[in-house]
Amino acid sequence: MRTFICEICGDAYLGTEAPSKCPFCGADHSYIKPGAEANPVFKRAGEIGEKSKENLMLTLDLEMKASAIYLCMAGKTEKFEIKQMYKRLAKVELEHATVVTKLLGIEMPKSSVEECGDEDLENFEKTVELEEHATSLYGRFAAESEEEKVKTFFVALMKVEAEHIELIRNYM
Ligand SMILES: [Fe+2]
Ligand SMILES: [Fe+2]
């Protein structure tokens, strides 16, 4: 067994081979490195400019809200698979929020409670809407980033959120 580290969230995966996606933040295989080689984005040197700070604060808010909405959805479904899927999505989004706090060197905000629908289909549609919004926003934030580490973070996140759309569409 070996230690692999995700360069987006910094979490360690213990296994014989690197996973195809980070189990914690969902980042693609290409960001998962043998432990000794990994240099997570939030550990990289360099100041973060005002524009990126602003975009990261918007991201923090969006990720915290998404996490709370997915927890609500997990609580509403009657299907065990869907419940577990939404609980995982909630953890993934919370992980994204955590990385933002590490990049900015700030405290984790308190989680809010969010509302959601009663029916799976309604919640799937809402999820796709949220993830489409996040994907396009992170594309813009990546383009606006002047810092390599912030750009890397947003490019990785954009792909994760786009894959959440694929995941949900499989159920619709
Ligand atoms: Fe990760
Ligand atoms: Fe996210």
Are residues 155 and 133 located together in one domain of the fold? yes
Question: What is the band of 159 on the pLDDT scale with cuts at 50, 70, 90?
Answer: very high
**pLDDT tens-digit profile of 56-90?**
999 999 999 999 999 999 999 999 999 999 999 99
Are residues 87 and 155 located together in one domain of the fold? yes
pTM of model > 0.85: yes
For a pLDDT cut of 90, what percent of the chain falls above it? 99
Single-letter amino acid, residue 112: S
Are residues 6 and 51 located together in one domain of the fold? no
How many of the other CB atoms lie within 10 Å of CB of 76?
17
Are residues 55 and 85 located together in one domain of the fold? yes
Are residues 24 and 50 located together in one domain of the fold? no
Are residues 33 and 101 located together in one domain of the fold? no
For 64, residues 6+ apart whose C-beta sits below 8 A from its C-beta are: 93, 94, 97, 109, 111, 112
Q: Rounded to whole angstroms, how far apart are CA atoms 58 and 55?
A: 5
Determine the structural domain holding residue 21 and report its residue range. 2-41
**pLDDT tens-digit profile of 130-157?**
999 999 999 999 999 999 999 999 999 9
Distance (angstroms) between ligand 1 centre and the Cα of 135 equals 17
Q: Write the CATH number for 101.
A: 1.20.1260.10
Whether residue 59 contacts residue 33, with contact meaning beta carbons closer than 8 Å, is answered with no
Which residues are placed with Cβ below 5 angstroms of ligand 2, an ion?
63, 93, 96
The token pair at 48 is 């973060």
Nearest residue to 69 via CA among 168, 163, 137:
168
Are residues 97 and 29 located together in one domain of the fold? no
H runs (alpha helix) in the chain: 50-76, 80-104, 120-144, 148-169
Are residues 82 and 156 located together in one domain of the fold? yes
Distance (angstroms) between ligand 2 centre and the Cα of 96 equals 5
Q: Which ligand approaches the C-alpha of residue 160 most closely?
A: 2
Are residues 6 and 31 located together in one domain of the fold? yes
What is the number of domains present in the chain? 2
Distance (angstroms) between ligand 2 centre and the Cα of 169 equals 17
**pLDDT tens-digit profile of 1-37?**
999 999 999 999 999 999 999 999 999 999 999 999 9
Are residues 81 and 163 located together in one domain of the fold? yes
The kind and range of the H/E element at 2 are: strand 2-6
For a pLDDT cut of 70, what percent of the chain falls above it? 100
